[in-house]
Structure 1
Amino acid sequence: MTETDAVVLPTLRPTPFDPPADLAKLRETRPIARLAYPDGHQGWLVTGHTLVREVLADRRFSARSELRHMPIEQPGGQSGQPAPPGMFISTDPPVHTRYRHLLTGEFTVRRMRQLTERIEDITRTYLDAMERQGPPADLVETFAAPIPALVICELLGVPGEERDRFHAQSDRLMRTGTPPEEKYAAYIALQAHMKELVPAKRAKPTDDLLSGLTRSDLDDDELANIGFLLLGAGLDTTTNMLALGTFALLRHPDQLAVLRAEPDKTGQVIEELLRYLSIIPFLVRTALEDVELGGELVRAGEAVTLSIPAANRDPERFPDPDTLDLHRASGSHVGFGHGVHQCLGQQLARVEMQAAYPALFGRFPSLRLAVPPGEVPLRTDMLIYGVHSLPVTWDAS
């Protein structure tokens, strides 16, 4: 394969729920293909489920930020800078291992189950507010965004008066079209908020994650960066799964009927929504040495972009993959990644979704879109896919 065969990362979605059609064509004919990066780099695009998991499990492929090339245009260009202390998702072992070990105990299945009752309380609070307000409503503003925001802020110990500021700055940072100076300002503002919070937790610890971490050997900069990272991840991903998942269920009433009829299978339902929607468009790794992958030689220093939506729609792993099937066993999806960098907060996200979806549709059995489906504004301008708003209505009692 020559460099003239390089493709550009497909981004045009045919429907709100389906990945770009060109990804499926590549997966069928060239599951590892030459990819042209906006900065002029020549790397690779991987679209097959098996190959994506193989790369994510292989420590010869690095997550380090200073080696990374992004497959989409970045305002201000590529940073090329090492990750600041505490930004563990952009590091490799053994640095990554140290941070991960300290944090794993805060995100166990047992700990998340302990949070379930509080998350259910939070969910009821926002449903009560929606009901009092009456239809119509923007589900993002009234339900999908505030629930994860409150949960992650409580987990980290962010004071109530700070939470709106955190959310606004996080949104500016994640928007792909935000000018570089505004992105930088949002980043600095979030960092400043966290750097104020960490000393306060050291001085007066409470029952939250940041307070617990102050008893470790992490310094203030590391703690602030970890808090910043967890806050941004906890806000955006679950918000968009809740909103886009609701949109998908409303557009597939036969599948919504499954959720309502079989509440004991909510966990399985969520795994299928994670697979089907794949709101994280890609992950990027860089080869640390020459590696043979799928019949191609990936040379040291070359970037490998892993298409999460393409992998999760691979018919070799998921029969009839473009169909939303809530009876499907979707446990091997890569919606949370795979390997040592698999999403640390995945259990928290699952608990939030398991609480939110049944409660929402149980409270409002007549819930439906308040606008034609084509008028729902999609987050095609964001790193994490979803909807900017979801206008809904229901029959008020």
Structure 2
Amino acid sequence: MTTSFAAGVRIAELAADPYPAYARLRTEEPVAWVPELGRYLVTKFEDVMFVERHPELFSSVEEPSMMTRAIGNTLLRQDGDPHRRIRKAAEGPVRPKMIKDRWAAAFQANADQLIDGFITDGKADLVKDFAGPLAATNLATILGLRNATATDMQRWSQAFIDGCGNYAEDPEVWRRCEIARAELDQAVTDALPDARQIAEPTVISSMAHADGALTDDEIRTNVKIFIGGGINEPRDATAVAMYGLLAHPDQQAQVIAGEIGWRKVFEEAVRWIAPIGMYPRQVTDTVELGGKTLKAGDKVGVSIASANRDEAVFDCPDEFDVHRDGANHLAFGGGPHFCLGTWVARISIADIALPTIFRRLADLTLVEPDTVRMDGWVFRGPLTLPATWTAEHPHA
């Protein structure tokens, strides 16, 4: 009896580096039952697109759901009218024009303030000292969560992300997740009276004043998912983009010279290492996908990370290359659940964070580029990016 490769796929190996396994699965078994995950893993671009285009067959309402267990019943685990109701209540402050008109100046100030804090040191960890706290501070700003520090926000976010991906059932992960839930619930509870009294273009205030206003519990629950994804994802996207340029000096030189735009850097970074590597869906009816017959109740893991490196779509997909056309990547998902924070990420990272740090820290260099380690498969990014620079430029 022949055992499929997928039967031996292990979570620990995916966390260390999922891409070799994904490449083999795309070739041998693009929709594969992975026993350790308890679901079919979907790895080819065309099959992921099929899932995205047929939400009636692949529901985000998964039972039981790791995310619901970790955070609660958020809009990401709802479909149809319940999903649209919450999304509509939250989306006003994250539309492109609102971000440019209201939030871009704050994002710029946050980036400059962080760089001011370490610029004279001549060295920093670009994840710990810049990408992480910048994502946290920007998110607190746009949420209207003024009573939480960047440290609090990052700790809560990591606890929620770890919980949503705790397929190994680590009890310590659940313990940290429970603590984070309690602390964030209190912070949102403290912020809600002012948010309900004063209408302003923050996400919490928008949810509180929307038609058919959300309950306090709905707001608390959905703020958790905004913090879970709204910090780790922009943090990792910023870090991957910085790493990609620093590890490819020729591409960096072209970007600095203005020959290639920062938006292309951003889009290639999130294609190359998708900040959200996999999301779950549950099958609602019998359907053929990737040569497999799936039945109602079957669980699938939709691998954006693998789809974004599909050889059938991208030339030399394992390479970081800012020259490619990255418009067809799937880093932000698609369909009704297209990432709510897409434009926040594009503007705060591509238009502000990346050009600012490369402009202000001249001759920015990784200390040991060969030792940079990525981690994760549900969510993935560099753990640290120790760097040095030789010249300092004040912000304008």
TM-score, normalised on structure 1? Answer: 0.87
- Structure 1 equivalent of residue 63 of structure 2: 66
CA shift at 1:206, angstroms? 4.4
- Structure 1 equivalent of residue 336 of structure 2: 340
CA shift at 1:166, angstroms? 2.8
1:327 to 323, 326, 335: 323
Residue 150 in structure 1 maps to residue 147 in structure 2: no
Residue 201 in structure 1 maps to residue 189 in structure 2: no
- The residue type equivalent to 1:209 in the other structure is V
Change (3 A) 1:83 1:248: closer
Q: Please report the RMSD computed on the Cα atoms of aligned residues, expressed in angstroms.
A: 2.8
Q: Deviations over 1:246-275 (max 9, x none)?
A: 122211112212321226622122111110
- The residue type equivalent to 2:20 in the other structure is A
- Structure 1 contact 33–44 (Cα < 8 Å) conserved: yes
Please give the secondary structure, in 2, of the residue aligned with 1:305. Answer: strand
CA shift at 1:393, angstroms? 0.8
Residue 390 in structure 1 maps to residue 378 in structure 2: no
- Structure 1 contact 12–20 (Cα < 8 Å) conserved: no
Please give the secondary structure, in 2, of the residue aligned with 1:286. Answer: strand
**Equivalent residues in 2 for 1:91-170 (5 A)?**
91-114=78-101, 115-132=103-120, 134-160=121-147, 162-170=149-157
Identity, % of aligned positions? 28
Unmatched 5+ stretches in structure 2: none
- Structure 2 equivalent of residue 27 of structure 1: 26
Unmatched 5+ stretches in structure 1: 69-77
Whole-Å Cα distance in 2 between the matches of residues 161 and 366 of structure 1? 34
CA shift at 1:8, angstroms? 4.7
Change (3 A) 1:304 1:326: same
Please give the secondary structure, in 1, of the residue aligned with 2:209. Answer: coil
Moved more, 263-272 or 90-99: 263-272
- The residue type equivalent to 2:111 in the other structure is T
- Structure 2 contact 68–77 (Cα < 8 Å) conserved: no
Whole-Å Cα distance in 2 between the matches of residues 203 and 138 of structure 1? 41
- Structure 1 contact 286–302 (Cα < 8 Å) conserved: yes
Moved more, 202-211 or 342-351: 202-211
Whole-Å Cα distance in 2 between the matches of residues 328 and 284 of structure 1? 29
- Structure 2 equivalent of residue 190 of structure 1: 184
Change (3 A) 1:9 1:145: same
Whole-Å Cα distance in 1 between the matches of residues 106 and 182 of structure 2? 31
Whole-Å Cα distance in 1 between the matches of residues 156 and 68 of structure 2? 23
- Structure 1 equivalent of residue 206 of structure 2: 212
Q: Deviations over 1:41-84 (max 9, x none)?
A: 4x31111101101112212101114244xxxxxxxxx5886984
Whole-Å Cα distance in 1 between the matches of residues 49 and 36 of structure 2? 22
Change (3 A) 1:259 1:14: farther
Please give the secondary structure, in 2, of the residue aligned with 1:301. Answer: coil
TM-score, normalised on structure 2? Answer: 0.87
CA shift at 1:161, angstroms? 5.1
- Structure 1 contact 66–82 (Cα < 8 Å) conserved: no
Whole-Å Cα distance in 1 between the matches of residues 105 and 75 of structure 2? 30
Moved more, 51-60 or 261-270: 261-270
Whole-Å Cα distance in 1 between the matches of residues 173 and 70 of structure 2? 22
1:365 to 362, 366, 378: 362
**Equivalent residues in 2 for 1:226-305 (5 A)?**
226-262=222-258, 265-305=261-301
- The residue type equivalent to 1:370 in the other structure is V
Change (3 A) 1:278 1:300: same
Whole-Å Cα distance in 2 between the matches of residues 312 and 360 of structure 1? 27
